């Protein structure tokens, strides 16, 4: 006598580690969902400074990072999104963050302090407030702070994606600091400062390079450009100086300027974005709720979330630094974007 459908399903599960598609064809499967969320600088700076004073972490600048966990993902070690982590890292005066490398690619945006450095594949890069530094996958890197004040920066890594693909590897360098084998400015000269490329010494691949984009140049370019986009104000993308494409294969980075009193149009897209407020203050309307932000705040917008931005000042610029997983969506043909009408504000995130 043939067994019933429930009996069949149970046997299939237990004996074959399989399941019947008809049971789930139209079922709504609940998955952890990234939520819009803001991490306030006033709170994160306070905790960062307190972490800097912890005696157990003295001298461990590479471990003193506060990882932002999206409340919608409901996991103890979740990142800001399903593909990206963001964290506030503080390196105390005189500390060295020891040399290592890992397959997750990283970016650093300097929030506070001037004059610290990162060494990447044997080249030293000085880091000042507003600078943006790339650490591509498996590049040796260490950091040092020889100034008299703490250095604080925003770390963003594609670690959740790399972990999901079971491709996460980590190695310590044999010494705490790697030797300096290239003169300062070597990489920028090698790529003609982003304008030219040497024929005799051009990289034989399109891998991203460990470059630093200086704040004065980036913000100066925004001020000089002054051509607004519908959804991001005056916006420019940090590019790979070799290819002219996204700065890294898994991460796109943008600097956008909202002029005094400017408000953008509304849209949504399938890329998930992490924003950091580099200058000024303003607000974003996110699915009808107002999210007020000011310098130092970090907030995340999930995929397919309606959003628009505004500058609350009538006299000063507001500048947003953002990173997203746009290159991933484009690579697999899943990027979509939709324009919307100005949203009616129905609530607030505070």
pLDDT digits (tens, 9 = 90+) for 301-323: 999 999 999 999 999 999 999 99
Closest-CA residue to 121 (of 208, 223, 58):
208
Which of 284, 264, 287, 281 lies closest to 344, judged by CA?
287
Give the DSSP H/E element, type plus range, for residue 74: none
- pLDDT tens-digit profile of 63-99? 789 999 999 998 778 999 999 999 999 998 988 889 9
Average pLDDT over residues 261-268: 97
Computed over every residue of the chain, the mean pLDDT equals 92
Asked if pLDDT for residue 202 goes beyond 70, the answer is no
pLDDT in tens, 127-179: 999 999 999 999 999 999 999 999 999 999 999 999 999 999 999 999 999 99
Using an 8 Å Cβ cutoff, are 341 and 310 in contact?
Answer: no
Q: What is the pLDDT of residue 25?
A: 75
Instruction: Tell me what pLDDT residue 224 has.
Output: 95
pLDDT value for 55:
78
The CA distance from 250 to 43, in Å, is: 29
Q: In what order do the strands lie in the sheet with 289-294?
A: 337-340, 266-269, 307-311, 281-286, 289-294, 347-348
144 touches 100 (CB < 8 A): no
Q: What percent of the chain has pLDDT over 70?
A: 96
Closest among 272, 329, 327, 321 to 293, alpha carbons compared: 321
pLDDT score recorded for residue 145: 93
Summarize pLDDT for 94-133 with one digit per residue, the tens: 888 899 999 999 999 999 999 999 999 999 999 999 999 9
Q: Is the pLDDT of residue 60 over 70?
A: no
Residue 96 vs residue 195, higher pLDDT: 96
Q: List beta partners, residue 294.
A: 281
How far is 276 from 240, CA to CA, in rounded Å? 21
Kindly report, residue by residue over 213-250, the tens digit of the pLDDT. Answer: 999 999 999 999 988 999 999 999 999 988 889 999 99
Neighbours of 164 (CB within 10 A): 11
Tell me the pTM. Answer: 0.93
pLDDT class of 62 with cuts at 50, 70, 90: low
């Amino acid at each position: 006598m043939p067994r019933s459908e429930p009996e069949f399903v149970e046997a299939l599960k237990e004996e074959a580690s399989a399941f019947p598609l008809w049971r789930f064809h139209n079922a709504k499967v609940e998955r952890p969902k990234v939520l819009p969320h803001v991490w306030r600088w006033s709170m994160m700076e306070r905790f960062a400074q307190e972490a800097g004073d912890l005696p157990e972490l003295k001298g461990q600048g590479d471990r003193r990072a506060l990882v932002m966990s999206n409340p919608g993902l409901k996991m103890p070690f979740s990142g800001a999104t399903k593909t990206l982590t963001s964290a506030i890292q503080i390196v105390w005066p005189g500390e060295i963050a020891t040399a290592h490398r890992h397959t997750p690619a990283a970016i650093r945006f300097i929030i506070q302090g001037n004059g610290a450095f990162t060494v990447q594949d044997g080249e030293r890069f000085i880091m000042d407030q507003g600078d943006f530094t790339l650490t591509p996958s498996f590049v040796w890197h260490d950091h040092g702070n020889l100034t008299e004040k703490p250095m604080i920066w925003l770390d963003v890594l594609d670690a959740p994606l790399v972990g999901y693909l079971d491709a996460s590897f980590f190695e310590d360098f044999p010494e705490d600091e790697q030797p300096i084998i290239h003169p300062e400015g070597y990489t920028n000269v090698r790529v003609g400062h982003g304008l030219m490329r040497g024929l005799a010494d051009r990289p034989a691949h399109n891998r991203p390079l460990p470059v630093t984009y200086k704040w004065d140049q980036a913000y100066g370019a925004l001020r000089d450009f002054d051509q607004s986009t519908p959804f991001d104000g005056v916006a420019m993308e940090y590019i790979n100086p070799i290819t002219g494409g996204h700065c890294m294969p898994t991460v796109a980075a943008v600097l956008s300027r909202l002029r005094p009193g400017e408000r953008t149009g509304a849209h949504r897209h399938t890329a998930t974005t992490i924003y950091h407020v580099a200058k000024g203050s303003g607000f974003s309307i996110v699915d009808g709720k107002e999210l007020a932000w000011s310098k130092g705040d970090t907030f995340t917008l999930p995929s397919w979330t309606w959003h628009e931005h505004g500058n609350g000042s009538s006299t000063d610029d507001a500048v947003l630094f953002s990173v997203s997983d746009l290159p991933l969506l484009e690579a697999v043909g899943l990027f979509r974007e939709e324009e919307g009408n100005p949203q009616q504000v129905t609530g607030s995130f505070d």
